[in-house]
Amino acid sequence: MLLADATNYVKDVDNVMIYIVTISVIMLLGVTFTMIYFVIKYNRKKNPKGANIQGNLWLEIIWVAIPTILVLTMFYYGFSSFTILRRVPKDAMVIKVTGQMWKWSFAYPNGKKYDTLYVPQNKSIKLEMNSVDVNHSFYIPAFRIKEDVVPGRTDYLVFNAQQQGKYDVECAEYCGMHHAYMLNKVIVLPQDEFQKWVNTPAPPAAKNESPAAGNASKTQTGGQQGQKGQ
């Protein structure tokens, strides 16, 4: 479910992750194995008298300087990828997202409102997000994006989905009793299908074909959705 090309941004995040984790694993193994090697090699039985080496200025300089360079590259790499996320293309379609305890709703430029997020493929989407009660956070793990949805202000997210399909949406900022059921789906459709969908007015009592729809209301009566999974 974590596709490498779900959006044009996923690879950027994964590459930063791979870069930092690779360096980290090398450092971790280096430190751990050096430590274990010393403990074995300089065992009290083999080595009854320790050498009182007070320190070494050059070593101190080296193990400050090299990590400094490494973490600055990590900072830059993480920062430059992040700026892609904050750039809003001029032709982006704006969808308004409203968070409330414990459901999401979406409003499209043509006035259509719906309780599942449908988006066209290969089109930049800007989500403008508000909360009507407490803090929430709009999180699409497959797209590696998240932004808090805070009452009294509008925050945004940008993405451009490359692959058709259904992706999980989760609330990532604790918001009370049914926080864990504030789930939804992003459904990515080909552009023509999306146009058809968005121009069909939603039926008055919006019954939704998505399995995630109405999660919040269903689970308020005691987590039925979860019990199904047992």
Between residue 55 and residue 114, which ones bind other proteins under the rule CB under 8 A? 55-56, 59-60, 63-64, 67-68, 71-72, 74-75, 77-79, 81-83, 85-86
Cα 22 to Cα 95: distance, rounded to the nearest angstrom: 38
Question: What Å distances lie between residue 73 and 82, 86, 100, 173, 210, CA to CA?
Answer: 14, 20, 39, 30, 43
From the CB of 147, what's the least distance to other proteins, in Å? 5
| Nearest partner of 93 among 177, 158, 176, judged by Cα | 158
Q: Is 123 in the site for other proteins (CB under 8 A)?
A: no
Q: According to CB under 8 A, which one of 3, 5, 27, 88 is a site residue for other proteins? A: 27
Q: According to CB under 8 A, which one of 17, 88, 94, 206 is a site residue for other proteins? A: 17
Q: Is 174 in the site for other proteins (CB under 8 A)?
A: yes
| Secondary structure (3-state) at 175 | coil
Neighbours of 184 (CB within 10 A): 25
Q: According to CB under 8 A, which one of 3, 28, 94, 206 is a site residue for other proteins? A: 28
From the CB of 38, what's the least distance to other proteins, in Å? 4
Closer to other proteins at the Cβ: 92 or 150? 150
Q: Is 170 in the site for other proteins (CB under 8 A)?
A: yes
Task: Give the gyration radius of the chain's Cα atoms.
Answer: 25
Q: According to CB under 8 A, which one of 7, 100, 137, 184 is a site residue for other proteins? A: 137
Q: According to CB under 8 A, which one of 4, 52, 90, 111 is a site residue for other proteins? A: 52
| Secondary structure (3-state) at 72 | helix
Q: Is 3 in the site for other proteins (CB under 8 A)?
A: no
Question: What Å distances lie between residue 157 and 32, 86, 92, CA to CA?
Answer: 40, 7, 11
